[in-house]
A and B are shown apart, each in its own frame.
Chain A
Amino acid sequence: MARITLDGIAHAYRAVPRGDADYALKPLHHVWEHGLAYALLGPSGCGKTTLLNIISGLLIPTEGRLLFDERDVTLLPTEQRNIAQVFQFPVIYDTMTVAENLAFPLKNRRMERRAIAARVAEIGEMLGLTAEMGRRARGLTADARQKVSLGRGLVRPDVSAVLFDEPLTVIDPALKWELRSKLKIVHRTLDLLMIYVTHDQVEALTFADRVVVMNDGRVLQIGTPTELFERPDHTFVGYFIGSPGMNLLPAQVMGRHARVDGHVLDLGATYPASPPGGRVQLGVRPEYATLAAGDGIPVQVRRVEDLGRRRLARVALGPHELVATLPPGLSIAGSEAVLQVEPPNLHVYVDDRRVEGIAA
Chain B
Amino acid sequence: MDHPVAEFAPSLPPRATAPLRRARSAGRGARREGLRRVVLGAYLIALLLPIYWLINMSLKSNVEITSGLTLWPHHPVLDHYRYIFTDPAWYGGFLHSITYVVLNTVISVTIALPAAYAFNRYRFLGDKHLFFWLLSNLMAPPAVYAMPFFNLYSAVGLFDTVWAVALAHCLFNVPLAVWILEGFIAGVPREIDETAAIDGYSFPRFFIRIFLPLIANGIGVTAFFCFMFSWVEQLLATTLTTVNAKPIVSVMTRTYSSAGMDWGLLAAAGVLTMIPGAVVIWFVRNHIARGFALGRV
Q: Note whether A and B contact each other (Cβ less than 8 A).
A: yes
Q: Taking beta carbons and an 8 Å cutoff, which residues of A are in contact with B? A: 5, 7-8, 10, 15-17, 26-31, 59-65, 75, 77, 218-222, 233
Q: How far is the CA of A7 from the CA of B8 in the complex (A)?
A: 9
A-B contacts, 8 of them at CB < 8 A, read A7-B15, A28-B4, A30-B8, A61-B21, A64-B15, A75-B24, A218-B4, A222-B7
Q: Is B20 an interface residue (CB 8 A)?
A: yes
| Complex contact B21–A31 (CB within 8 A) | no
**Which residues of chain A are near B12, meaning CB under 8 Å?**
5, 7
Q: Which of A8, A26, A60 contacts B15 (CB 8 A)?
A: A8
B13 and chain A: residue at smallest CB distance: A7
Max chain A Cβ within 10 angstroms of own Cβ: one of B4, B5, B18, B26: B4
| Complex contact A30–B23 (CB within 8 A) | no
| Complex contact A31–B5 (CB within 8 A) | no
Give the interface residue-count category, chain B.
Answer: 10 to 19
Q: Is B279 an interface residue (CB 8 A)?
A: no
Q: Taking beta carbons and an 8 Å cutoff, which residues of B are in contact with A? A: 2-9, 12, 15, 18, 20-24, 26
CB-CB under 8 A for A30 and B20, given A7-B12, A7-B15, A8-B15: no
**Which residues of chain B are near A5, meaning CB under 8 Å?**
8, 12
**Which residues of chain A are near B8, meaning CB under 8 Å?**
5, 29-31
B18 and chain A: residue at smallest CB distance: A63
Q: How far is the CA of A64 from the CA of B16 in the complex (A)?
A: 10
Q: B117 to chain A: closest CB distance in Å? A: 32
| Complex contact B22–A218 (CB within 8 A) | no
| Complex contact B6–A30 (CB within 8 A) | yes
**Which residues of chain A are near B4, meaning CB under 8 Å?**
26, 28-29, 218-221
Q: How far is the CA of A27 from the CA of B6 in the complex (A)?
A: 11
**Which residues of chain A are near B5, meaning CB under 8 Å?**
219-222, 233
A12 and chain B: residue at smallest CB distance: B20
Q: How far is the CA of A61 from the CA of B18 in the complex (A)?
A: 11
Q: A42 to chain B: closest CB distance in Å? A: 12
**Which residues of chain B are near A64, meaning CB under 8 Å?**
15, 18
A64 and chain B: residue at smallest CB distance: B18
B24 and chain A: residue at smallest CB distance: A60
Q: B28 to chain A: closest CB distance in Å? A: 8
B29 and chain A: residue at smallest CB distance: A77
Q: How far is the CA of A233 from the CA of B15 in the complex (A)?
A: 26
Q: A232 to chain B: closest CB distance in Å? A: 11
Q: B97 to chain A: closest CB distance in Å? A: 47
**Which residues of chain B are near A218, meaning CB under 8 Å?**
2, 4
Q: How far is the CA of A316 from the CA of B250 in the complex (A)?
A: 84
B12 and chain A: residue at smallest CB distance: A7
